Amino acid sequence: MQGISTIIPLILMFVLFYFLLIRPQQKRQKAVASMQNELKKGDKIVTIGGLHGFVDSIDDNKVVIKCGDGSRLTYDRSAIREVTEAGEGSVSLTK
């Protein structure tokens, strides 16, 4: 009986950690992976470094981002933090 009473608090702590820490982190990771897999040309994005631009082309693991001045930068797909505006196919930034 005394052995069970010492194990119950450990089990409760594990359950608490799971629901407060582990599960929300897994949901966030799934959401980020889904967003990065659904990138398409023309999406307005922000990188983890704070660069704002449009997706110009997409490879398996790389994304070419077109910035406001027309320059094109190549980033890993995992460097995309968020999509701020979904593109509608091809977007032209020429003036």
The whole-model pTM stands at 0.68
Q: How far is it, in rounded angstroms, from Cα 74 to Cα 84?
A: 19
Per-residue pLDDT of the chain (95 residues), as tens digits, is 777 888 999 999 999 999 999 999 999 999 999 999 999 999 999 999 999 999 999 998 999 999 989 899 999 999 999 999 887 754 444 43
- The answer to whether the Cα torsion of 25, 26, 32, 33 is positive or negative is positive
Q: How far is CA 69 from the centre of its chain?
A: 25
Q: Are 70 and 93 in contact (CB under 8 A)?
A: yes
Cα–chain center distance at 28: 8
